[in-house]
Amino acid sequence: MFKSDCHIHTDFSPDGKQTPQEMLNAAAEAGLTEITVTEHCECNDNAALPAGATPWPDLDVKSYTETFEKLRENSPIKINIGIELGQATQGKEYAAKMTAAYNWDFILGSLHNVRNELDFCYINYKERDFKKLFSEYFDQLYETVLLGGFSSLSHLYYPVRYIYRAGMSVDMSVFDEQIYAVLELCAKKDIGLEINTSTLNDKYADFVPGLKYASVFKKLGGKIVTVGSDAHRADRVGLGINAAYEMIKQAGFTEVATFEKQIPVFHKV
Ligand SMILES: [Zn+2]
Ligand SMILES: [Zn+2]
């Protein structure tokens, strides 16, 4: 049965914990038929790291793509090679350079920090007006989609992970107007919506986005849905993929997409 994880990091990403071969082995063990690797390309020049943190080096595109081209030769699983383009609006030149650096199968669009702020994973939510930060996030996410240049929008409400990890909660419906605008623009531009399963084992035990916003995307004319675990470790590869397929069916989709050379390929769910 078709089962694909479209959001995987190896140690080519500074926060990836395992080698390409280890992640590929884990994917085979998890019964995946296909994976897409999506190493980080942060376009904002380390601006969102706390003072004193080790800067992230640029992705070594040559070594990364050659490694996976080689792994493809004997892999029992289909391998697509992509990137996760973070904060493209905060470094448009770098975004354009990385986008053109290889004939990528897939480009995820992400926003991990709002301008002049740390990555959401470093913010102290007890000391900040996080509703204001969230609102800024959705405005800048809209700008990101407006700029475009990617295949699927990753983790629609990324900050929620860290709100819950801080022992707090947030009612996402407060931001419905902004979220719907983002979803509508994705649908209009034929940009996919990623169902990110990484929060399944967290305090926030749901997909990002969950059924409500996946259904809204469908109603607004969205056609392309991708599913990814955002695994940075081998034991997270393929996490929740089947459950996510069930969820998108409930949302009204009959197909999930993968990408080859940035063209969507649809698979029945
Ligand atoms: Zn991300
Ligand atoms: Zn990621």
Closest C-alpha among 219, 130, 220, 207 to residue 175: 130
Domain residue spans in the chain? 4-268
Residues in the chain: 269
DSSP one-letter string for 144-184: HHHH---SEE--TTTTHHHHHHTT----GGGGHHHHHHHHH
Determine the pLDDT at residue 237.
98
Tell me whether strands 152-153 and 192-196 are parallel, antiparallel or unpaired: parallel
Mean confidence (pLDDT) of the chain: 96
Distance separating alpha carbons of residues 98 and 56, to the nearest angstrom: 15
Q: What is the arithmetic mean of pLDDT over 230-244?
A: 97
pTM > 0.85: yes or no: yes
Distances (CA, A) of 154 to 102, 209, 217: 20, 9, 14
Between 47 and 88, name the one with better pLDDT: 88
Distance 96 CA to ligand 2 centre (A): 19
Residue ranges with CB less than 5 Å from ion ligand 1: 110
Distance 90 CA to ligand 1 centre (A): 15
pLDDT in tens, 174-185: 999 999 999 999
Kindly state the tokens that stand for 229.
Answer: 């675990």
Closest ligand, as measured to the CA of 229? 2
Determine the pLDDT at residue 165.
87
Distance 85 CA to ligand 2 centre (A): 9
- How many angstroms from the chain centroid is the CA of residue 14? 16
Closest ligand, as measured to the CA of 6? 2
Q: What is the arithmetic mean of pLDDT over 19-39?
A: 98
pLDDT in tens, 49-106: 998 899 999 999 999 999 999 999 999 999 999 999 999 999 999 999 999 999 999 9
* Contacts with 130 (C-beta within 8 Å, 6 or more apart), sequence order: 123, 159, 163, 168, 170
Closest ligand, as measured to the CA of 111? 1
* Domain 4-268 is found in CATH 3.20.20.140: yes
Which contiguous run of DSSP H or E holds residue 85?
Answer: strand 78-86
Torsion sign across C-alpha atoms 198, 104, 182, 211: negative
Closest ligand, as measured to the CA of 86? 1
Closest C-alpha among 27, 45, 79, 12 to residue 237: 27
Closest ligand, as measured to the CA of 48? 1
pLDDT in tens, 99-158: 999 999 999 999 999 999 999 999 999 899 989 999 999 999 999 999 999 999 999 999
Q: Are 257 and 192 in contact (CB under 8 A)?
A: yes
Kindly state the tokens that stand for 55.
Answer: 């800067």
pLDDT at 169 > cutoff 90: no
pLDDT at 23 > cutoff 90: yes
Determine the pLDDT at residue 231.
98
Distance 38 CA to ligand 2 centre (A): 7
Determine the pLDDT at residue 201.
78
